Structure 1
């Protein structure tokens, strides 16, 4: 991955959204966009857009705006998307299946390299032509293959045990889909995905919107 200065966490959280919008613009054949137009699409101010991009050295031209292709590539460089991160999935249940079948990972810099589970009846089966391997083989696999990220789609009662197994084998990044939030450390990075949190917020906003429409 190319070296770059550390960006504020709030900026990093917005960057994937910028990247998605820029990708859409590129696919539409739009070559440039102003901070105002991009901000309107994202629901942020033009000054916020300019501030975010300035934080990593990108600047638009007055009367021209930002070059969509160049800006998109700069964000790819920041996230190392041209380096192709190697990802393994631990847990071949419904969610593990869905992740393994998702076609968008590789074009965005992430390759699902292996899937692990403990259920004897599914060992050897294939998802998207990726064989399910018994978790007992994890150490052997990691010794023979470089792994950047482990996606944890295991039952809640096993996630701490599996997280320890994964990190003990040298994997430094965890993408955790368990309701239990894992904690990062100096040498382990964690992204906790709490889907129910998003649904709770969505449900709350739905009730609020309905209350405004039907105040009585």
Structure 2
């Protein structure tokens, strides 16, 4: 029997639904229709229904969706709130910015260690953690549970680090290096910060010059 796989596009919309529903719940709104979600989120209502039906639907015809229940279900699907231990490889600008981001812990993601190769910062405290030498990575991973490794190093070092993480049995990599990595047996999210800027640049040019997509 062939296993049904949820498309990547659907999965990438789930965090948007989660944020939107969290805002509704905070505002005291108890239920919402797909048509209102469509208007507020600038998405097609039928697309929203199809996305949610991939996981069971959760709505009632003529009633819509119960905000609290749907938010909790999407939270469960995404694994938000489930404890995840994370480490950071690279204590440069991106690594330090991630260390200082406070919302991770509130959603179950705890940064437990940070590593680097720069002798000038090894042993110093940043974001509440002492920077460890990268040479200690293997020993640390063998003694501690690591669910997600964040790569924030120059691109030439990223592929080798990703392979090492895979060999250590780490199953999730969040890669901020400007080079995609894809070690076997590991779930990877490659993040290119400049991509959003390029899209914004295109939209500004589109608006200024009046050409169509």
TM-score, scaled relative to structure 1: 0.90
TM-score, scaled relative to structure 2: 0.92
Q: Describe the SS at the equivalent of 1:122.
A: coil
Partner of 1:210: 208
Matched, 1:123 2:146: no
Q: Describe the SS at the equivalent of 1:44.
A: coil
In 1, the alpha carbon distance for the partners of 2:5 and 2:21 equals 22
Partner of 1:78: 77
Q: Which runs of 5+ in 1 are unaligned?
A: none
Residue by residue over 1:72-93, the C-alpha shift from the partner in whole angstroms, topping out at 9 and shown as x without a partner, is: 1111111111212111110000
**What is the RMSD computed on CA atoms of the aligned residues?**
1.6
Partner of 1:190: 188
Q: Describe the SS at the equivalent of 2:59.
A: coil
Report which stretch shifted further, 109-118 or 55-64. Answer: 55-64
In 2, the alpha carbon distance for the partners of 1:130 and 1:70 equals 37
* 1:89–1:96 Cα contact (<8 Å) kept: yes
Q: How does 1:43-192 map to 2 (within 5 A)?
A: 43-185=42-184, 187-192=185-190
Q: Offset of 1:128 from its aligned partner?
A: 2.5
In 2, the alpha carbon distance for the partners of 1:11 and 1:28 equals 26
In 2, the alpha carbon distance for the partners of 1:134 and 1:85 equals 22
Q: 1:157 to 1:174 in 2, by over 3 A?
A: same
* 1:148–1:171 Cα contact (<8 Å) kept: yes
Find runs of 4+ consecutive structure 1 residues off by over 4 angstroms. none
Q: Offset of 1:7 from its aligned partner?
A: 2.4
How many aligned residue pairs are there?
208
Pick one of 183, 198, 201 that aligns with 1:200.
198
Q: Describe the SS at the equivalent of 2:174.
A: strand
Q: Which runs of 5+ in 2 are unaligned?
A: none
In 2, the alpha carbon distance for the partners of 1:204 and 1:82 equals 36
* 2:87–2:150 Cα contact (<8 Å) kept: yes
Residue by residue over 1:67-115, the C-alpha shift from the partner in whole angstroms, topping out at 9 and shown as x without a partner, is: 1111111111111112121111100000000001001112223111111
Report which stretch shifted further, 59-68 or 70-79. Answer: 59-68
* 2:163–2:183 Cα contact (<8 Å) kept: no
Q: Describe the SS at the equivalent of 1:141.
A: helix
Q: How does 1:26-41 map to 2 (within 5 A)?
A: 26-41=25-40
